Amino acid sequence: MCGIVAYTGHREAYPVLLKGLKRLEYRGYDSAGIALLNGGLNVYKKKGKVTDLETSLKDQHLHSTVGIGHTRWATHGQPNDVNAHPHYSGSGRIAIIHNGIIENYSALKQELSNKGHRFLSETDSEVLVHFIEDVQTHSNCSLEEAIRLALQQVVGAYAIVVISKDHPDTLFAARKGSPLVIGVGKGEHFLASDATPIIEYTNDVIYLDDLEIAVITRESVNIKNLEDVRTTPYIHTLELELEAIEKGGYDHFMLKEIFEQPRSVGDSMRGRINSAKGHLLLGGLRDYLNKLVNAKRVVILGCGTSWHAGLVAEYVFEEFARIPVEVEYASEFRYRNPIINEGDVVIAISQSGETADTLAAIELAKSKGAIIFGVCNVVGSSIPRATHAGAYTHAGPEIGVASTKAFTAQVTVLTMMAIIVAKAKGTITESLYRELLVEMESIPAKIQKILDKHAQIEYIADVFKDARNFLFLGRGYNFPVALEGALKLKEISYIHAEGYPAAEMKHGPIALIDEEMPVVFIATKDSSYEKVVSNIQEVRARKGRVLAVVTENDGLIESMAEFVIEIPHTHETLVPLLSVVPLQLLAYHIAVMRGCNVDQPRNLAKSVTVE
Ligand code: G6P
């Protein structure tokens, strides 16, 4: 939520910032703004998308080699020009961009107002830059020192970048809870919320840690912690390719990411599975594998789509590894007094690796002595660094706000984890183990077969695009898929949709069914197939419109449903990797046909770094 980009070096800063903001727009798109140092300190900002800012600046000559940029997901104050970042300090000599929430901002604002400070916006961020200036004036110290002293009194989360008229080529940056990456070039440095605005220029990055302050000029990066102790930065070399963060000919990132799944699921397994040799290995788990093998209970934490992946993992872990599993919304877990006993293991799932609630839940579980495994996509993000061990999903950058390839990659990795533990515990037979490895390796080609039915799904989308409600029903392994299908549709098309366990339909949702209600059944040939067929009959009896995802050559449901979408057969435990794909495509096409912005749905952000 909120994207930050900054530059100091030998290039024109404005194009670097503008391009960077476009890459970070998935983090928030309520407003955008930049500040440039060019003798003066000038702020330009606008409600709306980055292109609105660009249009408003098209006749300006914006020459500067130092600047900051921000794209906002509103927390305090409406999305408008005034609340857009950057914000000036009271004297106008300092400007700030901020991602996060300053929780004690109203007390600080009151204190500063009593001293005569006047605020233009309703934001917590403007309060912070006034506070920094106030500290500097009253302590008569350097700006760096003032930032440190001010941040010591701040409660909340932040990634900030500050520039000042008095420091013509310097960026001051600090973080706690919200991410910041420094790009290291030759005679130039970049700063951003993630590496996507940076990799066009350099692959060398430094991840700023919580409670660190960096003072960055063209030539140098100096990092200290909030106690003023210098730390030695470690330069990571990223393997990210520029083309991975571009649309590559697709109309939308979401469509590109759906179509990437044969590759991304393959990448999740690459070097980890070899069915011919009977090998399955997740290098990141090795040192802590015995903790999982001996776990008395597994607690899975996540939010949104990652929570749905956790539900699939619950079924797989219990089935194969015979360990009791609880799946928790991280946001709920962190605010009750959860019981963590000796022998409990926590698995935290997150695409971005930055979700504030998941991070806080991890810290809580850690404080109670749990061993934490992470399943994350973004390399070097906060969650992998906060966990004891884990495995990256290797899906590649996911930019569409609605998660697609990250989900299938998460399920792939979690399934591999469950099989590894089951093998080590001896809770699956050698022949099932071998069969699962072969089946897993066949998944990418099977996803491709579903993607080849793209035109059929587009046709079905056209039939249902004007529906006002949708029900998604599934059982067993397809229950989490029903939840995920409903989430995809509601978040990008704004059609109200609910996912339900098919048998629970009788306890409420059946009352909603009439001749206008589309009901999507995920009715693959598995152990609950017959039961789901009965549920389809119940919907038909009430004139509901049935659309079913079925296994190839099903032969039966075709006669009951208005439409069927066939998916290839696979082992029951792996079905979610296939059955979710038509639902992603259905949501995508309906949203496009309704004229929605699928990559940047209203009110949402991809990386939720505030609670
Ligand atoms: C946001 C995104 C979702 C995502 C969820 C959890 O709501 O829009 O797509 O599933 O956050 O994010 P994470 O990065 O932790 O998986």
Tens-digit pLDDT profile for residues 199-208? 999 999 999 9
The pTM assigned to this predicted structure is: 0.85
Mean pLDDT for 229-248 is 86
Distance CA 607, CA 401 (A): 8
Q: Is the pLDDT of residue 604 over 80?
A: no
> The domain that contains 418 carries what CATH number?
3.40.50.10490
Query: Which residue is associated with the tokens 């993000």?
Result: 381
Distance CA 604, CA 601 (A): 6
Q: Is the pLDDT of residue 478 over 90?
A: yes
Query: Which residue is catalytic, options 2, 303, 376, 596?
Result: 2
pLDDT value of residue 608: 72
Residue type, 354: E
Q: Is the pLDDT of residue 43 over 80?
A: yes
Is the Cβ–Cβ distance between 65 and 8 less than 8 Å?
A: yes
Mean pLDDT for 366-381 is 92
- Residue 596 designated active-site: no
Distance CA 262, CA 266 (A): 6
Q: What DSSP letter does each residue of 98-124 carry, written as one string? A: EEEEETTHHHHHHHHHHTT---SSS-H
pLDDT confidence tier of residue 105, bands split at 50, 70 and 90 = very high
Is there an atom of ligand 1 within 6 Å of 8 CB? Answer: no
Query: Which residue is associated with the tokens 């306890």?
Result: 507
Q: Which residues pair with 344 in a beta bridge?
A: 297
Listed in sequence order, the residues at least 6 apart from 245 whose beta carbon sits closer than 8 Å to its beta carbon are 23, 196, 199, 397, 399
Alpha carbon of 289 to ligand 1 centroid (Å): 27
Same domain, 105 and 226: yes
Distance CA 147, CA 137 (A): 12
Is there an atom of ligand 1 within 6 Å of 512 CB? Answer: no
Q: Which domain holds residue 440?
A: 245-594
> Which residue, among 42, 22, 181, has the nearest Cα to 99 in the 3D structure?
181
Distance CA 405, CA 105 (A): 38
Q: Is residue 556 part of a domain?
A: yes
Query: Which residue is associated with the tokens 């990256």?
Result: 392
Closest C-alpha to ligand 1, atom 5: 304
Distance CA 77, CA 508 (A): 38
pLDDT confidence tier of residue 293, bands split at 50, 70 and 90 = very high
pLDDT value of residue 66: 97
519-543: pLDDT as tens digits = 999 999 998 899 999 999 989 888 8
Q: Is residue 604 part of a domain?
A: no
Lowest mean pLDDT among 23-37, 109-123, 574-588: 23-37
Q: Is residue 607 part of a domain?
A: no
pLDDT value of residue 248: 81
Same domain, 410 and 516: yes
Q: Is residue 608 part of a domain?
A: no
H/E element, 460: helix 454-464
Is there an atom of ligand 1 within 6 Å of 565 CB? Answer: no
pLDDT value of residue 341: 86
Is the Cβ–Cβ distance between 365 and 299 less than 8 Å?
A: yes
Same domain, 454 and 349: yes
| Residue 599 CA from chain centroid, whole number | 13
Is the Cβ–Cβ distance between 444 and 262 less than 8 Å?
A: yes
| Long-range contacts at 273-277 (CB < 8 A, ≥ 24 apart) | 273/416, 273/437, 273/440, 273/441, 274/437, 275/434, 275/437, 275/438, 275/440, 275/441
Distance CA 487, CA 505 (A): 17
Is the Cβ–Cβ distance between 590 and 461 less than 8 Å?
A: yes
Instruction: Give the tokens for residue 52.
Output: 């609105």
Is the Cβ–Cβ distance between 157 and 609 less than 8 Å?
A: yes
Alpha carbon of 58 to ligand 1 centroid (Å): 34
Closest C-alpha to ligand 1, atom 2: 606
Max CA separation in the chain (angstroms): 81
Domain end residue (candidates: 191, 217, 240): 240
Same domain, 167 and 73: yes
Same domain, 180 and 228: yes
| Side-by-side strand order, sheet with 469-474 | 496-501, 469-474, 518-523, 545-551, 563-567
| Side-by-side strand order, sheet with 212-216 | 87-88, 94-102, 156-164, 171-176, 212-216, 221-225, 230-231
Same domain, 119 and 75: yes
- Measured at the CA of 122, the angle between CA 119 and CA 123, to 5 degrees, comes to 95
Is the Cβ–Cβ distance between 283 and 273 less than 8 Å?
A: no
pLDDT value of residue 342: 84
Is there an atom of ligand 1 within 6 Å of 483 CB? Answer: no
Mean pLDDT for 321-328 is 96
Ligand 1, residue 305: give the atom nearest the CA.
10
Domain end residue (candidates: 195, 211, 240): 240
Is the Cβ–Cβ distance between 98 and 2 less than 8 Å?
A: yes
Q: Which residue has the higher pLDDT, 294 or 503?
A: 294
Q: Is the pLDDT of residue 379 over 90?
A: no
Is the Cβ–Cβ distance between 525 and 554 less than 8 Å?
A: yes
Distance CA 412, CA 318 (A): 16
Alpha carbon of 559 to ligand 1 centroid (Å): 38
Q: Is residue 602 part of a domain?
A: no
Rounded percentage of the chain residues whose pLDDT exceeds 70: 99
150-160: pLDDT as tens digits = 999 999 989 99
Is the Cβ–Cβ distance between 409 and 424 less than 8 Å?
A: no
pLDDT value of residue 238: 87
64-103: pLDDT as tens digits = 999 999 998 887 778 899 999 999 999 999 999 999 889 9
Same domain, 486 and 499: yes
Q: Is the pLDDT of residue 510 over 90?
A: no
Distance CA 52, CA 552 (A): 48
pLDDT value of residue 499: 96
Mean pLDDT for 465-476 is 95
Domain end residue (candidates: 209, 240, 271): 240
- Measured at the CA of 242, the angle between CA 251 and CA 394, to 5 degrees, comes to 90
pLDDT value of residue 144: 97
Same domain, 258 and 186: no
- Identify the three-state secondary structure at position 58: coil
Same domain, 118 and 141: yes
Distance CA 365, CA 384 (A): 15
Same domain, 526 and 507: yes
Q: Is the pLDDT of residue 394 over 80?
A: yes
Burial class of residue 602 (count of CB atoms within 10 Å of its CB; 0-12, 13-18, 19+): exposed
Is the Cβ–Cβ distance between 313 and 345 less than 8 Å?
A: no
Q: Is residue 599 part of a domain?
A: no
Residue type, 247: K
Q: What is the mean pLDDT of the chain?
A: 94
- Beta-carbon count within 10 A of 381 CB: 25
Is the Cβ–Cβ distance between 328 and 500 less than 8 Å?
A: no
> The domain that contains 236 carries what CATH number?
3.60.20.10
Is there an atom of ligand 1 within 6 Å of 608 CB? Answer: yes
Is there an atom of ligand 1 within 6 Å of 355 CB? Answer: yes
Distance CA 274, CA 281 (A): 9
Handedness of CA 201, 203, 207, 212 (dihedral sign): negative
pLDDT confidence tier of residue 28, bands split at 50, 70 and 90 = confident
- Structural domain count of the chain: 2
Distance CA 536, CA 531 (A): 9
pLDDT value of residue 86: 97
Mean pLDDT for 178-189 is 95
H/E element, 579: helix 575-593
Ligand 1, residue 358: give the atom nearest the CA.
15
Q: Is residue 362 part of a domain?
A: yes
Distance CA 124, CA 107 (A): 11
Same domain, 310 and 406: yes
Is there an atom of ligand 1 within 6 Å of 600 CB? Answer: no
Alpha carbon of 287 to ligand 1 centroid (Å): 28
Same domain, 57 and 108: yes
Is there an atom of ligand 1 within 6 Å of 377 CB? Answer: no
- Residue 606 designated active-site: yes
pLDDT value of residue 27: 84
pLDDT value of residue 8: 98
Closest C-alpha to ligand 1, atom 4: 304
Q: Is residue 603 part of a domain?
A: no
